[in-house]
């Protein structure tokens, strides 16, 4: 009954069109009151959900992503990589994925990455004859790499809830992120080849060298941020702060494309985007607390375990469940709602929490592309001025190929666990 009320009420409020954060909050408050498990707990639980040191990394990584987008790095990266990729079919499409991977190594938010790619690449690709729905779908998919490749807001949340080392999770995401990116190239190449969309020309060595020097500061950004974290004493939060100052330095001193009025705008945007995430974190935390206190989460785990004792069948079931949830909710709510159910399963089957975190995150990266709730598609629709229906059709091949990548990441845990073990993080 409690389970039915908790999830039923949440779904109803969601379908009414209420913001996810308040839907979570309303459902939790009502159940806490109805089952008398301590209404006084609402406020402290809310406060404790937000006031966590590791969560500070979120606003800083969002700000870093926005700064990198606006400081002139993106245009230079696109220029360099187009010269290198040359006239092969789908040239700019491949450029999008590669730049998406580099961006993913700087920012940790899918929508932010999508916006950064979209603002420069949609117009450029349209001018070369690429269909706008295809371009938009590709950009949204490349943006989704942001939460798989470190740094990643998704891994921060997963790490906080499960108590897994965040630097270890970050290291674990590198190889799966690159694999997913490579897989995205397959449909891009085939579709572009069929439609006759080609790249430009190869750059001369001199041109490439010049473009490389120009883009150098952007290219090394991921290494500065992640290198700092693994090389020294950086915590993820500190790495995020370093990323912000690195971006400011490049934008204001080297490229001189950022001024103080732009910085003010960036700070405001970063604060708004962070608050939208943080308010979900706060209420999702309250929701998870309510569910756990009522024993709903344990019951759900027990139910899943009763379905099968075969870990692979459970794994497939979990992934189907997460895929469906990804259509209806954002990644952060899903971590808070589902992890209390999934953690007992992880313990039962002795699953490596790092590997499981990568699997879940890749699945939720796909969730950023599956409508009706698909944050990356919303962002790209706004930039490209096309409807959600158009881009939803165009994104299907990318979703399918990402599911193949997900299957490979599930089947070979070493892809996720090799780097953390190498760095002795796990």
Size of the site for other proteins (CB under 8 A): 56
Q: Is 389 in the site for other proteins (CB under 8 A)?
A: no
The Cα 10–Cα 20 span in angstroms is 9
Q: Is 328 in the site for other proteins (CB under 8 A)?
A: yes
Q: Which CB sits closer to other proteins, 124 or 328?
A: 328
Binding to other proteins by CB under 8 A, coded x per residue (else -) over 140-159, reads --------------------
Q: Is 36 exposed, middle or buried (0-12, 13-18, 19+ CB in 10 A)?
A: exposed
Give a three-class secondary structure readout of 21-51. HHHHHHHHHHHHHHCCCCHHHHHHHHHHHHC
Fill in the DSSP letter of residue 82. H
The Cα 390–Cα 377 span in angstroms is 10
Q: Give the three-class secondary structure for 198.
A: strand
C-alpha distances (whole Å) from 191 to each of 124, 214, 292 are 18, 32, 47
Reported as type and span, the H/E element at residue 361 is helix 353-367
Q: Which CB sits closer to other proteins, 178 or 328?
A: 328
C-alpha distances (whole Å) from 249 to each of 221, 242, 253 are 11, 10, 5
Q: Is 44 in the site for other proteins (CB under 8 A)?
A: yes
- The closest alpha carbon to 116, from 108, 367, 200, 127, belongs to 108
Instruction: Rule CB under 8 A: choose which of 34, 43, 382, 387 binds other proteins.
Output: 43
- Of 212-220, 272-280, 338-346, 355-363, the segment contacting other proteins by CB under 8 A is 272-280
- Of 94-102, 169-177, 367-375, 395-403, the segment contacting other proteins by CB under 8 A is 367-375
- Of 167-175, 237-245, 336-344, 394-402, the segment contacting other proteins by CB under 8 A is 237-245
Q: Give the three-class secondary structure for 89.
A: strand
Q: Is 18 in the site for other proteins (CB under 8 A)?
A: yes
Q: Is 108 in the site for other proteins (CB under 8 A)?
A: no
Instruction: Rule CB under 8 A: choose which of 272, 313, 324, 400 binds other proteins.
Output: 272
Q: Is 22 in the site for other proteins (CB under 8 A)?
A: yes
Binding to other proteins by CB under 8 A, coded x per residue (else -) over 279-318, reads xx-xx-----------------------------------
Instruction: Rule CB under 8 A: choose which of 26, 249, 349, 412 binds other proteins.
Output: 26
Helix residue ranges per DSSP H, 87-220: 91-104, 110-127, 132-144, 153-162, 166-195, 205-219
What phi and psi, each to the nearest 5 degrees, are found at residue 48?
-65, -30
Instruction: Rule CB under 8 A: choose which of 193, 209, 223, 264 binds other proteins.
Output: 264
The Cα 345–Cα 100 span in angstroms is 34
Where do contacts with other proteins occur on this chain (CB under 8 A)? 13-23, 25-26, 29, 39-40, 42-44, 46-47, 50-53, 55-56, 59-60, 63, 237-238, 241, 244-245, 264, 267-268, 270-276, 278-280, 282-283, 328, 330, 371-373, 375
């Amino acid at each position: 009954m409690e389970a039915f009320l908790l999830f039923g009420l949440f779904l109803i409020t969601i379908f009414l069109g209420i913001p996810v954060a308040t839907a979570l909050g309303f459902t939790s408050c009502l159940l806490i009151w109805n089952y008398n498990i301590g209404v006084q707990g609402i406020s402290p639980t809310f406060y404790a959900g937000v006031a966590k040191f590791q969560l500070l990394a979120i606003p800083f990584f969002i700000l870093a992503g926005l700064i990198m987008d606006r400081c002139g790095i993106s245009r230079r990266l696109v220029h360099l990589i187009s010269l290198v990729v040359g006239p092969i079919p789908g040239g700019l499409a491949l450029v999008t994925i590669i730049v998406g991977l580099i961006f993913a190594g700087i920012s940790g938010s899918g929508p932010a990455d999508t916006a950064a790619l979209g603002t420069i690449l949609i117009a450029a690709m349209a001018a070369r004859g690429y269909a706008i729905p295809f371009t938009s779908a590709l950009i949204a998919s490349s943006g989704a790499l942001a939460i798989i490749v470190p740094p990643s807001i998704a891994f921060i949340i997963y790490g906080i809830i499960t108590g897994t080392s965040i630097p270890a999770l970050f290291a674990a995401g590198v190889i799966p992120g690159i694999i997913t990116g490579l897989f995205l190239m397959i449909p891009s190449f085939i579709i572009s080849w069929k439609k006759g969309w080609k790249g430009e020309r190869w750059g001369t060595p001199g041109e490439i060298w010049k473009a490389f020097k120009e883009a150098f500061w952007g290219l090394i950004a991921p290494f500065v941020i992640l290198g700092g974290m693994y090389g020294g004493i950086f915590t993820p939060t500190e790495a995020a702060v370093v990323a912000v100052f690195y971006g400011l330095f490049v934008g204001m001193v080297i490229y001189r494309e950022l001024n103080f009025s732009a910085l003010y705008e960036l700070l405001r945007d970063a604060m708004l985007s962070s608050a939208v995430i943080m308010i979900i974190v706060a209420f999702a935390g309250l929701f998870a607390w309510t569910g756990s206190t009522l024993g709903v989460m344990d019951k759900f785990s027990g139910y899943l375990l009763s379905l099968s004792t075969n870990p692979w069948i459970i794994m497939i079931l979990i992934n189907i469940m997460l895929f469906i949830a990804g259509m209806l909710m954002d990644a952060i709510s899903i971590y808070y709602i589902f992890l209390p159910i999934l953690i007992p399963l992880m313990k039962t089957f002795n699953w490596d929490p790092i590997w499981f975190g990568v699997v879940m995150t890749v699945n939720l990266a796909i969730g950023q592309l599956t409508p009706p709730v698909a944050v990356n598609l919303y962002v790209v629709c706004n930039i490209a001025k096309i409807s959600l229906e158009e881009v939803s059709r165009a994104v299907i091949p990318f979703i399918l190929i990402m599911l193949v990548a997900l299957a490979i990441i599930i089947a070979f845990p070493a892809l996720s666990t090799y780097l953390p073990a190498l760095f002795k993080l796990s």
